[in-house]
């Protein structure tokens, strides 16, 4: 049974950092309490007739079939959010990862950027906005445009958790990551999703080599499908 405990790199001793995150039992209990919200999100997707893109709980283009392989990633993101306050998320989709973070911490707020090319995205956001008033914000648009002019969209930061899970092709992942990192606060965590994709894995390694991030190292924390790091204090 996974207990997502986050180990602090030695060079960050003295900085605020996540302590022991919620256990699997706590996580699953919170999901059970939020079952009505999950059901509402699923109903929105069903009504559009579009297959759901894969997320932390569901397999890609399935009838909400559980994504058992990446379940530890869902637990891990929930643990990361336990002591965070202000999240920037690139890629909202149906709002599942946003919900998982919101359930971790009653003080946490999420600003999400999404191109909204699915008919269900804005409607799923409305579901979360109803259940978490004042705690979620959706910035609609192509991240290639939004992320290079966040000020115009009213996104100012700073953020203490960055979750980059947007479009995987071309220059977009690099821009999403670079601009996100520039808006980090002094004790910010960076999560790059889907790093089983070699291009995204290379991007994480590049950010590490440029000393923009320091990888979070803990064998108890499953990083097969996403990579996690502390943001170094560098302005791009």
Q: What is the mean pLDDT of residues 84-99?
A: 95
| Cα distances (Å, whole numbers) of residue 154 to 41, 125, 146 | 27, 18, 10
User: In 3-state terms, what secondary structure has residue 90?
Assistant: strand
User: In 3-state terms, what secondary structure has residue 173?
Assistant: helix
Residue 66: the pLDDT is 66
Residues 6+ apart with CB under 8 A from 168: 194, 197, 199, 200
More confident residue, 216 or 69: 216
What domains does the chain contain, in order, with CATH numbers? 17-231 (3.40.50.150)
Instruction: Indicate whether 222 pLDDT > 60.
Output: yes
Nearest C-alpha neighbor of 150 from the set 161, 159, 139: 139
* Residue 230 and residue 207 in contact, taking contact as beta carbons nearer than 8 Å: no
Map tokens 């914000």 to a residue. Answer: 137
Instruction: Indicate whether 10 pLDDT > 50.
Output: no
Instruction: Indicate whether 107 pLDDT > 80.
Output: yes
**219, two tokens:** 């064998």
pLDDT tens digits for range 34-69: 999 999 999 999 999 998 886 777 766 667 766 666
Residue 6: the pLDDT is 33
Instruction: Indicate whether 4 pLDDT > 90.
Output: no
* Residue 225 and residue 73 in contact, taking contact as beta carbons nearer than 8 Å: yes
Instruction: Indicate whether 96 pLDDT > 60.
Output: yes
Residue 193: the pLDDT is 84
Beta bridge partners, 140, equal 114
Residue 11: the pLDDT is 36
Where does the pLDDT of residue 225 fall: very low under 50, low under 70, confident under 90, or very high at 90 and above?
confident
Residues 6+ apart with CB under 8 A from 93: 52, 53, 55, 114, 118, 121, 124, 165
């Amino acid at each position: 049974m996974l207990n997502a405990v986050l180990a602090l790199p030695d060079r960050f001793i003295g900085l605020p950092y996540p302590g022991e995150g919620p256990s699997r039992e706590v996580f699953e209990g919170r999901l059970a309490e939020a079952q009505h919200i999950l059901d509402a999100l699923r109903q929105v997707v069903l009504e559009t007739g579009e297959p759901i893109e894969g997320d932390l709980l569901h397999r890609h283009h399935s009838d909400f079939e559980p994504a058992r392989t990446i379940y530890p990633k869902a637990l891990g993101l929930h643990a990361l959010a336990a002591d965070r306050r202000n999240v920037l998320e690139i890629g909202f989709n149906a709002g599942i990862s946003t919900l998982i973070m919101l359930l971790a911490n009653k003080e946490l707020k999420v600003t999400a950027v999404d191109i909204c090319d699915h008919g269900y995205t804005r409607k799923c956001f409305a579901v979360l906005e109803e259940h978490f008033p004042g705690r979620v914000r959706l910035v609609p648009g192509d991240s290639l445009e939004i992320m290079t002019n966040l000020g115009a969209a009213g996104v100012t930061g700073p953020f203490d958790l960055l979750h980059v899970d947007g479009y995987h092709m071309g220059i977009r992942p690099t821009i999403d990551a670079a601009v996100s990192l520039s808006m980090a606060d002094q004790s910010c965590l960076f999560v790059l999703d889907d790093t089983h994709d070699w291009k995204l894995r290379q991007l994480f390694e590049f950010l590490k080599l440029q000393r923009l991030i320091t990888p979070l190292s803990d064998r108890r924390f499953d990083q097969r499908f996403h990579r996690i790091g502390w943001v170094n204090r560098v302005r791009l």
